[in-house]
Amino acid sequence: MTTALITHQACLRHEPPPGHPERPGRLQSILTALEADEFRPLLRREAPEASLDALARVHDRDYAEEVLAAIPSRGVVHFDADTAVSPGSRDAILRAAGAVVEGVDMVMKGEAKNVFCAVRPPGHHALPDRAMGFCLFNNVAVGAAHAREVHGLRRVAVIDFDVHHGNGTEAMFFGDPTLFYGSTHQWPFYPGTGRPGDRRPEHIVDVPLPAGSGGAEFRRAFSETMLPAVTTFRPDMIFISAGFDAHQDDPLGQMRLVEADYAWATEKLCAIAERQCAGRVVSTLEGGYDLDALARSVSAHVQALMAA
C-alpha cells in the first residue's frame, strides 16, 4: 500500500525575520529532494486548512483566535524572542496543522498506509495557550485529537525524535493515560523540560541524552525504553514528531545522528504499527536546520515509510 506526502506551497510563505533558522529554505530543500525518481510512487496531496474546531481540541479557542488575529499585513509580529508570524503565516500554520488532520483521514479511509507531512512551522513546543520555540499550533497533537474525536480511535501514541523535548505535546497528553508521548532529546537543552529523574506517568516516556550522543546511544534508548513502552501501550495509531535536528551536521543540536539512524527508528516504529494497528503511521516534520542534512534525513525517513 501507498505512502502519502502531504504538503502545501503556503508553508513556504511563513517568514520569520531574516537569519532565523526556521526558514522557508528548509521545506524547499525537502520538496526538491522528494522530486527524485525513487519518490515517484508517493501519493501527493495538498494540505487543507485546519478548522478552528480542530485547533480548539488541543488549544484554548481564545489563543487560537488570538494567533490568527495577530497575523500582520506586513512585517512580523513576535510571540516570543524566537517565534514570529509574517503576512504569509496564516495559511502556513493552518495548513501545517491541516496536513496532519488530512493524513489521519487518508490512513483511516485506506487511501494511504502511512503519511509524511512536509510542513512548517513545526508544532511540538506549542502549548495549549502559548506559542514558543518556532511553534504556533501543535500540529501533531491536533492530528492525534482528530483521530480520536472523528475516527473514534481510543489510544494514540506520538514518538518524537527531534533533538528538543516536545514540551507542548507532553503538556497536552500528560493528564490522559490513553495518549502516549515518547521523546528522545538532548538534555540539558532547550526548552529545559523532559529532565532525568522527573516523576511522570507510565504513558509519558522521556529519554534525555547528553550532548554528543550518536546512533549507538539513540538506538539503545529506542531498543531498551521507547519501543518496549510503545508496544506495551498498544496504540491504535502511531504519530511521529519527525525532527531531524539531532543530526550530526545540525547547527542547533549537539547530537550525532545520521540518516541511517532515522531510517532505523522509522522501520522499528512501522514494525510496531504493522503488528498492532494495521501499519497506521502519520509522521510530521518538526525541526532540522542544516538544509542538506535535513533533505537527506527526510529522504531516508520517507524511504523507510515507503518500504513498510
Q: Which stretch binds Zn ion (CB under 5 A): 59-67, 216-224, 232-240, 287-295?
A: 287-295
Q: What is the DSSP string of 267-294?
A: HHHHHHHHHHSTT-EEEEE-----HHHH
Residue 37 CB coordination number (10 Å)? 6
Query: Residue 63 is inside which H or E element, if any?
Result: helix 61-69
x/- string (CB under 5 A) for Zn ion, residues 205-244?
--------------------------------------x-
Closest among 118, 120, 91, 117 to 105, alpha carbons compared:
117
| Nearer of residues 183 and 266 to Zn ion, judged by Cβ | 183
103 in contact with Zn ion (CB under 5 A): no
14 in contact with Zn ion (CB under 5 A): no
| Nearer of residues 3 and 138 to Zn ion, judged by Cβ | 138
Closest among 32, 42, 55, 60 to 6, alpha carbons compared:
42
Contacts of 33 (CB under 8 A, 6+ apart): 295, 296, 298, 299
Strand 114-118 and strand 3-7: the pairing is parallel
164 in contact with Zn ion (CB under 5 A): yes
Which position's Cβ is nearest Zn ion? 287
Tell me how far, at minimum, the Cβ of 228 lies from Zn ion, in Å: 25
| Nearer of residues 16 and 243 to Zn ion, judged by Cβ | 243
287 in contact with Zn ion (CB under 5 A): yes
Tell me how far, at minimum, the Cβ of 84 lies from Zn ion, in Å: 17
Among 162, 206, 249, 250, binds Zn ion (CB under 5 A): 162
Tell me how far, at minimum, the Cβ of 245 lies from Zn ion, in Å: 4
Tell me how far, at minimum, the Cβ of 246 lies from Zn ion, in Å: 8
| Nearer of residues 112 and 171 to Zn ion, judged by Cβ | 171
| Nearer of residues 102 and 162 to Zn ion, judged by Cβ | 162
120 in contact with Zn ion (CB under 5 A): no
Closest among 253, 47, 97 to 161, alpha carbons compared:
253
Tell me how far, at minimum, the Cβ of 162 lies from Zn ion, in Å: 4
| Nearer of residues 91 and 245 to Zn ion, judged by Cβ | 245
Task: Find the binding residues for Zn ion in span 243-272 (CB under 5 A).
Answer: 243, 245
Asked if 135 and 124 count as a contact pair (C-beta separation under 8 A), the reply is yes
Kindly list the catalytic residues.
125
β-bridge mates for residue 294, sequence order: none
Closest among 210, 188, 201 to 256, alpha carbons compared:
210
Tell me how far, at minimum, the Cβ of 224 lies from Zn ion, in Å: 23
Could you tell me the maximum CA-CA distance found in the chain, to the nearest angstrom? 50
Alpha-carbon torsion 294, 244, 80, 10, what sign?
Answer: positive
Closest among 170, 214, 165 to 187, alpha carbons compared:
165
Q: How far is CA 131 from CA 78, 119, 138, 241, in A?
A: 10, 17, 9, 17
Q: Give the C-alpha separation, 19 to 187, whole Å.
A: 25
Residues forming the site for Zn ion (CB under 5 A): 162, 164, 243, 245, 287
